[in-house]
Amino acid sequence: MLKILLQDTLSNPSSLITIVLGIIFPVLLYKLWSSNKSSSTNNKNLPPSPPSIPIIRNLHQLGPHPHRTLRDLSRLHGDDLMLLRLGSVPVLVVSSSDTAREVMKTHDLAFCDRPRKASSEKLLYDYKDVSSAPYGEYWRQTRSACVLHLLSNARVKSFRGVREEETKLMADKIHNSCSSSSAVNLSELFAGLTNDVVCRVAIGKKYSDDGESGRKFKKLLGELAELLGIFNVGDYIPMLAWLSHVNGLYGRMDKVAKDIDVFLERVVEKHMEHVDDLNEDRHKDNVVDILLWIQKENLLGFPIDRTCIKALILDMFSAGTDTTYTVLEWAMTELLRHPKAMEKLQNEVRTIVGHKTDVTEDDLEKMPYLKAVFKETLRLHPPVPLLIPRVSRKDVKIKGYDVVAGCQVFINAWAIGRDPGTWDNAEKFEPERFLNSVVDYKGQDFALIPFGAGRRGCPGILFAMAVNEIALANVVHNFDWQLPGGARGEDLDMTETSGITVHRKLPLMALPKLLTKSTVI
């Protein structure tokens, strides 16, 4: 871990003296720091912890895939509740549905704050977005705007035409590749689909076909996702925050933040040209217009400024693109690995749709196996395996243990979804388990919490799953699929990326075969 953190800095010999001084000085202070910390917790019944080392404490144990290593550490040291010390920050790791329920329901109010991170401060308008904003009146009002005006069931339905149009365009691209018998990069197609849908919904147009401007915007979104998920040592060891200046991390964040702000400022200015026309009947085309209408009518009870509007638009991109296409990518991966499940889903979709070319959203309600496939995918592959960290606002007891105020909380949704104490054949992909089950992913069933739960649960569940369902249904309806080179499903590489959102490390490549009308059920 330290090698990774320091490698960019160590490549510059002139910085070696600075590094030595920067490391030795904290070590000299360690005894004073640790004695102060231990005196304040001597009388606490703290959760079990693995051994740690000075300064970095347990940081070195996270590894490139923390959701996996934390699951293993929990089994070894704490089972469903474990306390880590990541540098100077105490972190509670939750690995069971029962404990998750205590955190996100029983004591939800005590755990509804967010940690302060440099990436959120620099990239998300100083915590002005909904996902990273500290708990308080501002967060309550902006979340209310999302729930009531931006992402309500009625609003999501109003964007149906966008989803169906963009899905058809994706299917046309796949259709064109059939004649050349070439493999399709499904990861790229799914990412493009979600980005285009979110662009049209958020700002009223898409930029994928906008030449150089579109390429720059796509690159910006990629850099934003990367920087929001990157590990920053200064968040956990403040005395080493200077490393992020030396290795250029803060500089990258500042540049991306500035470039995104310039782009969003142009977008808002363009929409401001028509602000006087916004009224009850004309504010439904995109999120920018909705927010400007809310601002004009003062619907939240307090004025929202330009920064708030830009932060909420940015939330649509930071939370609505990367995580959405990840679910599609993993769902298709599992179907390619399990031909019987693929066949069962295709039979369901083709029976409902018949000889129609395209699946519509009206058809989706009659597809229980499609919904089961997504539940099983979300169980095995939650897009944000550790959810977004929370922070305790006060001292509280969980499972008889003392959790101090200011403690971060990692809820390991990935480990909870694979808990053998909850799920039969926990590591196997079996959508059938959900066909006669009332378990859902909307935050009421704590054994399946890919979108979180409670006050800090994701408000965009309906939007994300509407995109996923229409896309996957069309992909399996119109085409048969196989892996390139005659590869078998069990040989498909399942290696994950590292970061806050977990994708496939390698793009998902597959060969489509166009279905003829005579072969449709």
Q: What is the mean predicted confidence (pLDDT) over 158-186?
A: 92
Where in the chain are the domains? 137-519
How many Cα atoms are found within 13 Å in the side-chain-facing hemisphere of 106?
12
Question: What's the rounded Cα separation, in Å, for the pair 132 and 349?
Answer: 39
**pLDDT-derived band of residue 313, with 50, 70 and 90 as boundaries?**
very high
**pLDDT-derived band of residue 20, with 50, 70 and 90 as boundaries?**
very low
The three-state secondary structure class of 184 is strand
Q: Is the pLDDT of residue 73 over 70?
A: yes
| 224-239 pLDDT per residue, tens | 999 998 999 999 999 9
pLDDT of residue 515: 79
**pLDDT-derived band of residue 263, with 50, 70 and 90 as boundaries?**
very high
pLDDT more than 70, % of the chain: 89
| Stretch (H or E) spanning 407 | none
- When comparing pLDDT for 3 and 79, which is higher? 79
Q: What is the mean predicted confidence (pLDDT) over 430-445?
A: 95
Residue 81 main-chain phi, psi, to 5 deg: -145, 125
Q: Is the dihedral of CA 511, 514, 518, 521 positive or negative?
A: positive
pLDDT of residue 320: 83
For the chain, the average pLDDT equals: 88
Whether 361 and 370 have beta carbons less than 8 Å apart is answered as: no
Q: Is the pLDDT of residue 93 over 90?
A: yes
pLDDT of residue 210: 67
Whether 340 and 221 have beta carbons less than 8 Å apart is answered as: no
Sheet of 509-514, strand order: 184-185, 509-514, 479-482
pLDDT of residue 66: 96
| 34-62 pLDDT per residue, tens | 444 444 456 889 999 999 999 999 999 99
Would you identify the CATH topology of the domain 137-519? Answer: Cytochrome p450 (1.10.630)
Q: Is the pLDDT of residue 340 over 80?
A: yes
Cα angle 82, 88, 89 (rounded to 5 degrees) comes to 45
| Stretch (H or E) spanning 166 | helix 160-178
- One-character DSSP codes across 279-324: BTTB--S-HHHHHHHHHHHTTTSS---HHHHHHHHHHHHHHHTHHH
**pLDDT-derived band of residue 516, with 50, 70 and 90 as boundaries?**
low
Query: What is the value of pTM for the model shown?
Result: 0.91
Please tell me the least confidently modeled range out of 265-274, 410-419, 499-508. Answer: 265-274
**pLDDT-derived band of residue 301, with 50, 70 and 90 as boundaries?**
confident
pLDDT of residue 19: 47
pLDDT of residue 318: 85
How many Cα atoms are found within 13 Å in the side-chain-facing hemisphere of 514?
15
pLDDT of residue 214: 75
